[in-house]
Amino acid sequence: MLFLKNPQEAHLQCLTFKKEGKSIGFVPTMGALHEGHLSLVRRAKEENDVVVCSIFVNPTQFNDPTDLAKYPRTLEADRRLLESVGCDLLFAPQEQEMYPAPPVLRFSFGHLEQVMEGAHRPGHFNGVALVVSKLFHIVQPNKAYFGQKDYQQYLIIRQLVADLSFPVEVVPCPIVREADGLAMSSRNRRLTPAQRREAVILHQTLQEAKQRLLNGVSVEEVKKWVASVFAPLQKKDIRLEYFEVADGYTLSAVKDIHRHKEVVLCIAAYVGEVRLIDNVLLFS
């Protein structure tokens, strides 16, 4: 596996792959890799000649400096994992190489960034769009792979690619879960053992909410039920930030599930000081 830190060197190597007639599958990450990331690499390996993975903890998408400081960084362990699943090139730049000067460009994604994560993390998706645009220019991938745990991010990137005409196919990949249902996340390793056991409440709540909706319970009543589940958990320092039932394509609020082709149930909650997100598709 090639390991490059310099953006220009990585770009030239990717151009070499292209000149050799090889297709490039790209998996952008912030490191602290787990089986969810590795599943993306395996999928990219199946569908492309070459797989490129990036590791970069992108400062512009963090609206909380403490969260940025505490984000796990495990580059050497990540390198070994990527090598074990057949990654061909790891690109791991330094911050000053990606942002030699403070960026001034601002993206607007309309309603897509005004709800859920966008509402609770101002500027987050502008930072995501900035770094993904830079990475697409450097790597020049044919396909880019994103996990659906960050469902709103996937829709944002799909919009970015459409509006800027990036010649990239954005490939959404299913959420990979622990045995008890907790969505795999780099943030999970910050949970204490007790918090880790409690964190499964996110997945359990989504599954029960999905079943209630399919059984004919109204969206309004399901939202009230979710709030009632989390209310007593505050004594365990588990706090619901939001639970939304949204259109799976536009993220507009859903009142009647039968008027939409796809509906996504999204949740965000704090377990201690660790913020976790999860989602489930209603009709899939």
For the stretch 92-128, pLDDT in tens is 999 999 999 999 999 999 999 999 999 999 999 999 9
Out of 3.30.1330.60, 3.30.420.10, 3.20.20.70, 3.30.1300.10, the CATH code matching 186-281 is 3.30.1300.10
Q: Answer yes or no: are the C-beta atoms of 24 and 139 closer than 8 Å.
A: yes
When pLDDT is averaged across residues 190-212 and rounded to a whole number, the result is 97
Q: What is the mean pLDDT of the chain?
A: 97
Neighbours of 135 (CB within 10 A): 23
Would you say 260 and 248 are in contact if contact means Cβ atoms under 8 Å apart?
yes
pTM of this prediction? 0.96
Question: Which residue is associated with the tokens 């697409």?
Answer: 136
Domain boundaries, the chain: 2-173, 186-281
Q: Measured over all CA atoms, what is the biggest interatomic distance in the chain, rounded to whole angstroms? A: 60
How large is the average pLDDT for residues 142-160?
Answer: 98
Question: In angstroms, rounded to a whole number, what is the distance separating the alpha carbons of residues 209 and 116?
Answer: 18
Per-residue pLDDT tens for 225-248? 999 999 999 999 999 999 999 999
Question: The tokens 């079943």 sit on which residue?
Answer: 211
The residue from 11, 34, 37, 120 that is catalytic is 37
SS3 of residue 269 by DSSP: strand
Containing 210, the helix (H) or strand (E) segment is helix 201-214
Selected from 3.40.50.300, 3.40.630.30, 3.40.50.620, 3.10.20.340, the CATH number assigned to the domain covering 2-173 reads 3.40.50.620
Distance between CA atoms of residues 255 and 247, nearest Å? 10
Q: Is 111 a catalytic residue?
A: no
